[in-house]
């Protein structure tokens, strides 16, 4: 089976449609379809089947995609080994980070990699952890986050490594009646107006835990994913919120831990299973670990 056609199948699995695959590979949709038909003949089995106006992978197609990951990874390793003869680790590593994680870790990561020969191309992607498989179509490493009680994002095609734990705290306006306490119990928050993030993100998952503890559905007045905006709204007295501990920068808000609730998010480094064998990627992963360890200390 031709490796180029295996790459086409892999892209289709990641992107979901022939049109999106064609755009990613700078091909025409008809050329993509032709390559997939040839690959099916080479494999000797049906790899795709109609699903409405789209195509979906058969069981055989899904199995071959996993093997295609192995083939592409082997080719990437071969290229990396050739780079080693020119003084590896070198090369470009594409990294996606959620915004508050990027603010916390990216400056230190770039400092750690300065002069290493590794070119990090970073981009912020504010998506839930469930989007990791899709993001890995365009990135070598994805820094994501999840509620600490949620399962990790590992799968046959994704390796997810816990990087660090960050507590999620309550932030209150100055002068709030609870501001003088050392910690706040969930039952004390039943009547509050909440400013939260969109559903599917760790901060909102913790808010749902507060709801479970109190038996009261939180009154969410706004949903905004920008932590800076949330801080400003809380500081102005427009509600209370939960925020990741290291993301709080506004000195006028009151920051307190929650009592009796597991309130934290886990940072995860996600990549394809064989990505660690590429020297440049392995160097970036280790730099992430070193920076996170310094913060934890």
User: pLDDT value at position 76?
Assistant: 82
* 142-166 burial code (b ≥16 CB/10 A, e <16): bbbbbbbeeebbeeebbbbeebbeb
Q: Is 106 helix (H, G, I), strand (E, B) or coil?
A: helix
Q: Residue 239 and residue 156: Cα distance in Å, rounded? A: 42
Q: Is 133 helix (H, G, I), strand (E, B) or coil?
A: helix
User: pLDDT value at position 215?
Assistant: 82
Q: Is 45 helix (H, G, I), strand (E, B) or coil?
A: coil
Residue for token pair 């209370």 = 240
- Could you check whether 3-85 and 92-163+266-296 share the same CATH topology? no
Number of helical H runs and strand E runs in the chain: 9, 11
47 DSSP assignment: -
pLDDT less than 70: residues of the chain: 83-89, 297
- C-alpha Rg value of the chain to the nearest Å: 23
User: pLDDT value at position 52?
Assistant: 82
pLDDT per residue over 117-162, tens digit each?
899 999 999 888 889 999 999 999 999 999 888 888 899 889 999 9
| Domain segments of the chain as ranges | 3-85, 92-163+266-296, 165-263
Parallel, antiparallel or unpaired: strands 159-172 and 264-271? antiparallel
Check: CB of residue 150 under 8 Å from CB of residue 129: yes
User: pLDDT value at position 87?
Assistant: 54
Parallel, antiparallel or unpaired: strands 48-51 and 54-57? antiparallel
Q: Which CATH class is domain 3-85?
A: mainly alpha
| 129: its two tokens | 């952890």
Please state whether the predicted TM-score (pTM) of the whole model is above 0.75: no
Q: In this structure, which CATH number among 3.40.190.10, 3.40.50.300, 3.30.200.190, 3.90.400.10 belongs to the domain 92-163+266-296?
A: 3.40.190.10
CATH topology of domain 165-263: D-Maltodextrin-Binding Protein; domain 2 (3.40.190)
């Amino acid at each position: 089976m031709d490796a180029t056609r295996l790459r086409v199948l892999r892209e289709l699995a990641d992107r979901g449609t022939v049109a999106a695959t064609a755009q990613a590979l700078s091909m025409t949709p008809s050329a993509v379809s032709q390559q997939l038909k040839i690959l099916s003949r080479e494999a000797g089995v049906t790899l795709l089947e109609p699903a409405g106006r789209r195509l979906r992978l058969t069981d055989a197609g899904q199995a071959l995609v996993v093997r295609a990951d192995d083939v592409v990874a082997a080719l990437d390793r071969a290229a990396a080994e050739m780079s080693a003869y020119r003084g590896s680790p070198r090369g470009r590593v594409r990294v996606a980070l959620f915004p508050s994680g990027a603010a916390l870790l990216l400056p230190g990561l770039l400092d750690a990699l300065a002069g290493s020969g590794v070119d990090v191309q970073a981009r912020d992607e504010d998506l839930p952890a469930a989007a990791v498989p899709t993001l890995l179509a365009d990135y070598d490493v994805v820094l994501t986050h999840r509620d600490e009680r949620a399962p990790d994002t590992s799968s046959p095609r994704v390796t997810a490594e816990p990087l660090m734990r960050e507590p999620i705290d309550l932030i209150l306006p100055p002068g709030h009646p609870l501001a003088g306490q050392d910690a706040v119990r969930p039952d004390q928050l039943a009547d509050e107006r909440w400013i939260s993030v969109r559903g599917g993100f760790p901060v909102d998952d913790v808010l749902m835990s507060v709801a479970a503890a109190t038996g009261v559905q939180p009154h969410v007045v706004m949903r905004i994913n920008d932590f800076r905006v949330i801080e400003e709204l809380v500081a102005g007295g427009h509600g209370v919120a939960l925020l990741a501990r290291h993301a709080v920068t506004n000195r006028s808000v009151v920051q307190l831990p929650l009592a009796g609730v597991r309130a934290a998010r886990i940072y995860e480094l996600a990549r394809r299973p064989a990505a660690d064998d590429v020297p440049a990627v392995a160097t970036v992963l280790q730099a992430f670990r070193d920076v996170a360890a310094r913060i934890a200390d």
